[in-house]
Amino acid sequence: MVSVSDVRRWRQPTLDAAFQALGSRRDTLVGFDDELHGTKSPPGWSGPAAEAATKHHGELTERMRRLVAGISAVRRAVGEAADAVKAVQRALGDAEHMAGKHGFSIADDGKIFDVAHPRPTDETQIRERLFIRIELADRVEQVLRRANDIDADLAAVLERAALDRIDDGCGTSLNDASLAGQATGGLSTIGPPKGGSPDDNAGWWSSLSDAERAAMLKEHPDWLGNLDGLPAVVRDQANRAQLPVERAKLNEEVSRLEKEIHDIGQRMLRSSSERTDLSLAHQLAAARAKLAATQENVASLDAIDKTLSRGDRQLLVFDPSGARHKAAIASGNVDTAEHVTVFTPGLGTTVRGDMPAYDDHMNKLRDVAERASEREGKPTSVAAVTWIGYEAPQATLDELLNKNRSVMSDAAARSGAEKLTGFLNGVDASRTTDPHLTAIGHSYGSLTTGLALQKGTGVDDAVFFGSPGLGTSNLEDLKVRPGHSWVVEARGDPVAEFGTFGRDPDLLGAGLLSAKDVTLPDGRHLNASVGHASVEPKVGYLAPGTTSQYNMGLVSAGLHDLVQRDKPLGLGELFRQRARRGPY
């Protein structure tokens, strides 16, 4: 087994030199092709000597062909090994840089040691260091996984060449033999780790050479698009490649269902049996339901295309599985932005119906954050992600009655939280420098966000607005630094009052951000948000020009000192004040 110390000792220049030398030898041998053909028995020569000469020439030609094939196979293997070793050592170097930056060291056997002095005593810092240590261990694991694959592949080619088992093909020239040997000398490229964490995925991707990455994107975009931990630009490219494939598939299904519906209708017209009519009616209803669902997914693709057409967008999730398409689209560059905000919406959300509007509002929030930073003399870059990566509950009778889908249950939120946790961790894992990461959630999406944060993420700030609860009654469960959890509650928002899923969030000790009319010190006036909606024109939580939107923009930019704070005065708080005062 290859160890970290082995990877450190590997010398890519030696492989490069061998690659060049093997190429020179191959070219020299292939250059003898004309001479080899010229030594064939001359026409008209016959007899035992001629037969012996012909046999000897054939044996010599075959030996030359197999030698050239072997050299070509080994040359290709050595060349690809050189590129792969460069990538693996680069990945190990990144891990070692991260280790040194945070007070860790990587031993020769791959174990991670904490060498920080003094050791932190703050619980939050201890938890963060644990996450870093886990990330380092996962990255080193992928380095060794790839290193062992390279070692085994190269050894296999060398062994086949040594045993003269390289196929020289069925051509007639030495060049043909060279091409045949070269075709068999390629190294394999291992796929992503099965069930890997975002750190595993990031470590795997960083261990691939540029050529291997390009091949992976071309041949397996379906592997990469939803793989948390990969760079946003890679996920975007892979997911965009899937869109036309999915559209063609859906259009074919629409045509098939339309024909099926037509055929069933014709059979019903011809039927004279009441029992047959009933059976056909059931089939017709089922086919129409499937057609409607398929057409909705076609409309989801239209919504995604419309959003991406705005430019400066990254398609970070495209998941056509399940009942409804799921997607996440970023405004801005998640790979390079200093601040990344991830928004999770709630009840009734679909890609088809909501992605363009939510993206527009998140883009405006991004603009608020960047402009506020410029006014403070701290210009920065922000990326804002609309994450519809789960199937949010819908306000339909069948979902309301389904305990696994109902908005009155946390089942859908828990399922969504699993995916959101990976996505949030993946943002940090995909980068060598972590951004300031903010998670914001509205309504049922705030429950999904709260449950995700309890699993441990790299989130630096969390904002919950119109929240029915966070799935806990203890703010520390969110694993966010003290003073970096925020709640926004608009006047007349009943959902935000009663703490359906855990205690009312505004009683947990989070910072309370204002959603009221506010005039800023520079004279700008901000409007109040009213009710529960997130994107309702003028009064929604995310509506442009509202105090709520302004506050969330400031948090997204890390400008905590500028936020407009508030005290909750909704219906639930009035009841609590009345209870504290006692009866009249």
Tens digits of per-residue pLDDT, 246-255? Answer: 999 999 999 9
Ranking 102-111, 548-557, 560-569 by mean pLDDT, the lowest is 560-569
- What is the pTM (predicted TM-score) of this model? 0.89
CB 87 within 8 A of CB 209: yes
Tell me the C-alpha distance between 408 and 501, whole Å: 9
Tell me the C-alpha distance between 458 and 582, whole Å: 44
Q: Is 337 helix (H, G, I), strand (E, B) or coil?
A: coil
Burial tier of 473 (Cβ tally within 10 Å: 0-12, 13-18, 19+)? middle
**Phi, psi for 41 (deg, rounded to 5):** -60, 135
Tell me the per-residue pLDDT of 395-407, one tens digit each, with 9 for 90 and over.
Answer: 888 888 888 888 9
Which ranges constitute the DSSP H helices of 31-122? 33-38, 48-101
What pLDDT, on the 0 to 100 scale, is given for residue 53?
79
Tell me the C-alpha distance between 521 and 154, whole Å: 68
Which residue has tokens 């939580």?
A: 541
Q: 563 pLDDT exceeds 70? A: yes
What pLDDT, on the 0 to 100 scale, is given for residue 584?
31
**Host H or E run for residue 367:** helix 351-375
CB 552 within 8 A of CB 475: no
Q: Which letter, b or e, does each residue of 498-517 get, where b requires 16 or more Cβ atoms within 10 Å of its Cβ?
A: ebebbebbbbbebbbbbbbe
Contacts 24+ apart (CB under 8 A), 537-542: 539/490, 540/361, 541/442, 541/465, 541/466, 541/488, 541/490, 541/515, 542/361, 542/362, 542/364, 542/365, 542/442
Tell me the C-alpha distance between 56 and 36, whole Å: 12
Q: Mean pLDDT throughout 322-344?
A: 97
Tell me the per-residue pLDDT of 19-53, one tens digit each, with 9 for 90 and over.
Answer: 999 999 999 988 887 777 777 777 888 888 887 87
Q: Mean pLDDT throughout 258-269?
A: 92
Tell me the C-alpha distance between 241 and 308, whole Å: 13
Token duo for residue 571: 């219906």
Question: Partners of 440 in the beta sheet?
Answer: 343, 463
What pLDDT, on the 0 to 100 scale, is given for residue 437?
98
Could you say which DSSP state residue 495 is in? G
Tell me the C-alpha distance between 96 and 119, whole Å: 19
- Max intra-chain CA distance, the chain: 130
Q: Which amino acid type is present at position 327? A: A
**Phi, psi for 240 (deg, rounded to 5):** -65, -35
Question: Partners of 327 in the beta sheet?
Answer: 318, 388
Token duo for residue 14: 């030696």
Question: Partners of 519 in the beta sheet?
Answer: 525
Q: 289 pLDDT exceeds 80? A: yes
Q: Is 462 helix (H, G, I), strand (E, B) or coil?
A: strand
Burial tier of 43 (Cβ tally within 10 Å: 0-12, 13-18, 19+)? exposed
Which domains does the chain show, CATH number per domain?
4-218 (no CATH), 311-581 (3.40.50.1820)
What pLDDT, on the 0 to 100 scale, is given for residue 568?
56
Q: 580 pLDDT exceeds 70? A: no
CA distances from residue 81 to 87, 211, 253 in whole angstroms, order as listed: 10, 12, 45
Torsion of Cα atoms, 567 then 569 then 571 then 573, to 10°: 50
DSSP string, 111-145: -EEE--SSPP--HHHHHHHHHHHHHHHHHHHHHHH
Token duo for residue 417: 């939280």
Cα 498–Cα 502–Cα 503 angle in degrees, nearest 5: 55
274's CB contacts (< 8 A; 6+ apart) are none
What's the mean pLDDT when you consider all of the chain?
91
DSSP string, 481-511: -TT-EEEE--BT-GGGTS-TTSS-GGGTT-E
Tell me the per-residue pLDDT of 124-141, one tens digit each, with 9 for 90 and over.
Answer: 888 889 989 999 999 999
574's CB contacts (< 8 A; 6+ apart) are none
Token duo for residue 171: 């051509």
Tell me the C-alpha distance between 552 and 558, whole Å: 10
Cis bond before residue 435 (omega within 30° of 0): no
Ranking 166-170, 224-228, 442-446, 447-451 by mean pLDDT, the lowest is 166-170
**Host H or E run for residue 411:** helix 411-429
Could you say which DSSP state residue 486 is in? E
Burial tier of 288 (Cβ tally within 10 Å: 0-12, 13-18, 19+)? middle
Q: Is 396 helix (H, G, I), strand (E, B) or coil?
A: coil
Token duo for residue 98: 């991260």
Tell me the C-alpha distance between 464 and 579, whole Å: 26
Cis bond before residue 118 (omega within 30° of 0): yes
Tell me the C-alpha distance between 180 and 33, whole Å: 16
CB 58 within 8 A of CB 52: no
Question: Partners of 343 in the beta sheet?
Answer: 386, 440
For the chain, state the CA radius of gyration: 32
